Structure 1
Amino acid sequence: MTQLSSAKNNIITDEMRKAVESEPLSLEVFRDYISKGYIVIPKNINHKFEPVAVGKGTYIKVNANIGISSKKSSLDEELKKLQVATEAGAHSIMDLSTCNDFYYVREIRREIIKQSKIMVGTVPIYEISTKMFAEKKEINRISDKDILEIIKIQAEEGVDFMTIHAGVTQDVMRRLQNDPRVCGIVSRGGSMIAEWMKFNNKENPFLTLFDEILDIAYQYDVTLSLGDGLRPGSTIDGTDRAQIQELIVLGELVDRARDRGVQVMVEGPGHINISDVEMNIKLEKRICNEAPFYILGPVVTDCAPGYDHITAAIGSAIAGVAGADFLCYVTPAEHLHLPELQDVRDGVISSVIAAFAADLSLNKGNSREREMKMAKARKEINWGNMSNLALDKGKVDAAIETYQLKKSSECSMCGEFCSFKRNY
Structure 2
Amino acid sequence: MATQMQMARQGKITDFMKLVAKQEQVEADLIRDRVAAGTIAICANINHSSLIPRGVGQGLSTKVNANIGTSSAYPDLEPELLKLAAAINAGADAVMDLSTGDHIDISRQKIIEQSTIMVGTVPIYQATVNAIKTHGAVVDMTSDDLLHAIEQQAKDGADFMTLHCGVTRETIMRMRRQTRVMDVVSRGGSFITGWMLHNEKENPLYEHYDDILDICEKYDSTISLGDGLRPGCLADATDRAQIQELIILGELVDRAWKRGVQVLVEGPGHVPYDQIEANMKLQKQLCKNAPFYVLGPLVTDIAPGYDHITAAIGGTLAAASGADFLCYVTSAEHLALPTIEDVHEGVITSRIAAHAADIVKGIPGAKEWDLKMAKARKVLDWDAQMNLAIDPEKAKGKRGARNEEGAEGCSMCGEYCSVKIVGEYLNKPVTYCNE
Give me the TM-score of the superposition, normalised by structure 1. Answer: 0.98
Q: Whole-Å Cα distance in 2 between the matches of residues 355 and 74 of structure 1?
A: 31
Distance (whole Å) between structure 2 residues aligned to residue 133 and residue 77 of structure 1: 26
Deviation at 1:404, TM superposition (A): 4.3
The equivalent residue for 1:287 is: 286
Q: Which residue of 2 aligns with 1:239?
A: 238
1:23-422 aligned at under 5 Å gives the runs: 23-48=24-49, 49-99=51-101, 101=102, 104-404=103-403, 407-422=406-421
For the 8 Å contact 1:46–1:157, the answer to whether it is kept is yes
Tell me the amino acid that sits aligned with residue 190 of structure 1: G
Instruction: Write the letter of the residue equivalent to 1:29.
Output: L
CA–CA distance in 1 between the matches of 2:106 and 2:55? 28
SS of the aligned residue for 1:22 comes to helix
Aligned length: 421
1:28-73 CA-to-partner distances (Å, cap 9, x unmatched) read: 1111111100000000000021110000000000000001111125
Alignment of 1:11 with 2:12, yes or no, is: yes
Q: 1:172-209 CA distances to partner (integer Å, 9 max, x unpaired)?
A: 00100111110110001001101111111111000001
Q: How large is the RMSD of aligned CA atoms in angstroms? A: 1.0
> For residues 126 and 395 of structure 1, what CA distance do their matches in structure 2 show?
36
Alpha-carbon separation, structure 1, partners of 2:419 and 2:148 = 64
Range with bigger deviation, 398-407 or 4-13: 398-407
Q: Give the CA deviation at 1:27.
A: 1.1
Give deviations 1:62-112, integer Å, cap 9, x for gaps.
00000111112510000000000110010101000113x3xx111111110
Matches of 2:363 and 2:76 in 1, distance apart? 40
Question: Comparing 212-221 with 131-140, which one deviates more in the overlay?
Answer: 131-140
Contact persistence 1:24–1:364 (CA under 8 A): no
Q: Return the offset for 1:25.
A: 2.3
Once the two structures are superposed, what CA deviation does each residue of 1:251-310 show, in whole Å capped at 9, x if it has no partner?
Answer: 000000000110001000100000000000000000000000000000000000000000
Q: Deviations over 1:201-226 (max 9, x none)?
A: 11100000100000000000000000
Percentage of pairs with the same residue: 51
Give how far 1:400 is off. Answer: 2.8
One-letter amino acid of the structure 2 residue matched with residue 282 of structure 1: K
Residue 46 to residue 406, structure 1, CA distance change in 2 (3 Å): farther
SS of residue paired to 1:135: helix
Runs of 5+ consecutive residues of structure 1 not aligned to the other structure: none
Structure 2 distance, partners of 1:74, 1:187, is 24
Structure 2: which 5+ runs fail to align?
A: 427-435
SS at match of 2:139: helix
Please report how far the alpha carbon of residue 117 of structure 1 lies from its aligned counterpart in structure 2 after TM superposition: 1.1
What amino acid does structure 1 have at the position aligned with 2:54?
V
SS at match of 2:24: coil
Q: Which moved more, 1:217-226 or 1:4-13?
A: 4-13
Q: Return the index of the structure with the highest Cα Rg.
A: 2
